[in-house]
Structure 1
Amino acid sequence: MDEITAYYDALATDYDRDRFGNSYGRYVHQQEARLLGPLLVPLQGQLVLSLGYGTGRFMEWPPHGLDSGPQMVAAARAQFPNRAFAVGDAAATPSVSDSFAAIYCLHVLMHLPEAKAQAILAEAHRLLRRYASYWLLSWK
């Protein structure tokens, strides 16, 4: 497990409360939901993937998620038992090429070395169907 995954995995139990349980965190969550909701709702029933979903904050929409942290995955599964969660490397997924209608990645790439971020973007490109969408939100 890399250093960044280990750091966030150690926070998994209290992550949502600590990051989004205050007024600023709720505001950030509401703003992100306002952006994502209109994009994801029309894709209900299609294959959508969240890369680096953490505790599953936005997993009410996509049916599939991949995260590198086992504890984050456990927290997400507890909230959304009907979703398909996997632990793995977003730069090398077991998924079939051209299989997803959309992929989104929130607050992940900003934590990674440039080469790893580029590898994740290349993997997302491989996984997306033709004319599909990739949404990225990252602060740097």
Structure 2
Amino acid sequence: MTDYLDITRTAYDTVAADYADLLRGHLARSTWDRAVLGAYAELVQAGGGGPVAEIGCGPGRITEHLHGLGLDVHGVDLSPEMIAVARKWYPHLDFRIGEMPGLSIEDGALAGVVAWYSIIHTPRERLPEIFADFHRILRPGGHLMLAFQVGDEVRHIEHAYGHDISCDAYRLLPEAIAGQLGETGFSMVSELVREPSEEFESTRQAYLIARKQ
């Protein structure tokens, strides 16, 4: 059976260029995304700053935004094609190929970890491994931010961004994710759920910020 990481990598390699073009200006139209990212950047800076990794960075648009907010941030993604786009668009930033779990980052090395809609292709039973890896690479007091679609279903995606692909996307319950983070050794800082925008979303969106104890 093909591993979900291989399936996800293939899907995002396929759509990378068109995905990047479609979402490139999205943050300018998303008040809530900018607000949450700004609050997160302030939390990291108030804690003394330090290195931050965006895990599942795709074409790098969130990494670039966090950099503009003053964070020392680099991006990691499992898709070589996504990383190629990110390096082309933002050559002043550091982008690396990597997978979660199993990130090639030293224990306690980071002040922050951001997973912006990047846990949505992970089977639910594998999420504790992901959160444990995030906990491992954060220093005590470091902050984690997650963003994801709210729900309790699995969607099989066969066409996206003008391409035929095949991968699953998991909608998640914020209270369940918060509980898993607590079991991993995080304390919750904020939980925000907003209604879908009229632009293209069909479900509520969640933003969770947690602190490594």
Q: Matches of 1:46 and 1:87 in 2, distance apart?
A: 21
Distance 1:83 1:8 in 2: 21
Task: Determine the C-alpha separation between the residues in 1 that align with 2:100 and 2:7.
Answer: 16
Q: Name the counterpart of 2:50.
A: 46
One-letter code aligned to 2:7:
E
Aligned to 1:91: 101
Per-residue Cα deviation, 1:48-104 (whole angstroms, up to 9, x for no partner): 010001011111225211100000001111121122211111200111100100101
- Identify the match of residue 8 of structure 2 among 4, 11, 28: 4
CA distance in 1, matches of 2:85, 2:76: 13
TM-score, scaled to structure 1? 0.85
What secondary structure does 2:95 align onto? Answer: strand
- Match in the other structure for 1:32: 33
CA RMSD of aligned residues (A): 2.2
Q: Share of identical aligned residues, percent?
A: 27
1:101 aligns with 2:102: no
2:195 matched residue in structure 1:
none
Would you say 1:82 and 2:92 are equivalent positions? Answer: yes
8 A contact 1:66–1:90 mirrored in 2: no
Structure with more of its chain in strand, by fraction: 2
Which structure: greater helix fraction?
Answer: 1
The structure whose RCO (Cα within 8 Å, separation 6+) is larger is: 1
Q: Where does 1:58-137 land on structure 2 (aligned, <5 Å)?
A: 58-60=62-64, 61=67, 62-137=72-147
Secondary structure class of the residue paired with 2:63 = coil
Contact 1:105/1:136 (8 A) holds in 2: yes
Higher Rg of the two aligned structures: 2
CA 1:9–1:116: 2 relative to 1, 3 Å: farther
Give the Cα–Cα distance (whole angstroms) in 1 for the partners of residues 16 and 86 of structure 2: 9
Structure 1 unaligned regions, length at least 5: none
Please report how far the alpha carbon of residue 20 of structure 1 lies from its aligned counterpart in structure 2 after TM superposition. 5.3
Q: Scaled by the length of structure 2, what TM-score is found?
A: 0.58
Instruction: State how far apart, in whole Å, the 2-side matches of 1:116 and 1:66 are.
Output: 19
